[in-house]
Amino acid sequence: MSPQRAGAQTIAEIKQRGIVRIGVLSELPPWGFLDASGKPAGYDVEVGELLAKKMGVKAEFVGTTVAARIAQVMTGKVDMLLATMGMYPERAKVVQFTEPYAGMKIILLAKKGQTIEKLEDAAALRIGVVRGGAQDIAITNGLPKSADIRRFDDDSAVIQALITGQVQAVGANTTYMININKIFPNNEFEQKLVLNEQWMGIATKPGQKDLNVWLNTLIDEIRASGELAAVNKKWIDQPLPEFPTKIDGVPFTVQ
């Protein structure tokens, strides 16, 4: 089967196949990662399992990276992305988002002794980010071109660079500290700034109205039932946030 034909266009096609192919991140706990047995796990994976169950098919999780995830859905290698996809207007020009199913803050992390009250205070530091991620965009746009921004392929590499001193600060999200505390207890890092609030939606190819409608209905259903709140509590240990009903430049439905 060619890549162009691999991705299903409708719910009926997915049900006929018996499998829904979902792109998830492989190295970003607690959102998407491989557990001790090598199986996909995390917030996005659990939402994907709920999705497959309610669709009456099996879930096939395809591991991807931040940089490669959009290509996975656009070339038909997966039917959709549950891959911590921040909902931004630039991305909405390429993929179709559903309404949000998760949220987090994009932040700057550095050592506790480092005084950073605004992003410009970090201009002289070596700053690590995931290449092409929301943190990369926010920090690149907010600092001079001369800033020393070091780009890595995934979140685990960014965290490792911070811990080893390769960088002095990192663009992060609010779950980074969960991971840092697990591998480096009693560390000296802390959140310095909130750069923006990020909402995540399920991403599909543009124009797939049938799939988009079904996914939005699913999100509404698992929010109302409390299933999504349970997933959020399990993996993020926080109450489910109040999702926005609209995001400028990011339609939740096929136009």
Structural domains of the chain in order of their starting residue, each with its CATH number: 3-103+200-236 (3.40.190.10), 104-196 (3.40.190.10)
Say if pTM beats, i.e. exceeds, 0.85. Answer: no
Assign 8 a pLDDT band (cuts: 50, 70, 90): low
pLDDT of residue 3: 38
**CA distance linking residue 230 with residue 251, whole number of Å:** 27
pLDDT tens digits for 175-190?
A: 898 889 988 999 999 9
Residue 9 predicted with pLDDT over 70 = yes
The separation between the first and the last C-alpha atoms of the chain, rounded to the nearest angstrom, is 29
Nearest CA to 43 among 22, 21, 69?
22
Task: Kindly state the average pLDDT of the residues 46-71.
Answer: 95
Q: 21: alpha, beta or left, given left = phi > 0 and alpha = psi -120 to 50? A: beta
pLDDT tens digits for 190-245?
A: 999 999 899 999 999 999 999 999 999 999 999 999 999 999 999 998 899 999 99
Collapsing DSSP to helix, strand or coil, 11 comes out as helix
Cα dihedral 60, 54, 201, 30, rounded to 10, equals -60
Beta strands 169-173 and 126-130 are parallel
Tokens 């190819």 sit on residue: 205
Residue 7 predicted with pLDDT over 60 = no
| Cβ atoms 187, 162 nearer than 8 A | no
> Which stretches does DSSP call E strand in 131-188?
148-152, 169-173
Tokens 């001790």 sit on residue: 36
pLDDT tens digits for 95-140?
A: 999 999 999 999 999 999 999 999 999 999 999 999 988 899 999 9
Task: Kindly state the average pLDDT of the residues 35-57.
Answer: 96
> Which stretches does DSSP call E strand in the chain?
19-25, 27-28, 32-34, 40-41, 58-64, 80-81, 96-111, 126-130, 148-152, 169-173, 189-204
pLDDT of residue 1: 30
Task: Kindly state the average pLDDT of the residues 81-93.
Answer: 95
Q: Torsions phi, psi of 96, nearest 5?
A: -100, 125
DSSP-assigned letter for residue 56: T
125, 148, 188, 236 from 169: Cα distances, Å = 7, 11, 12, 23
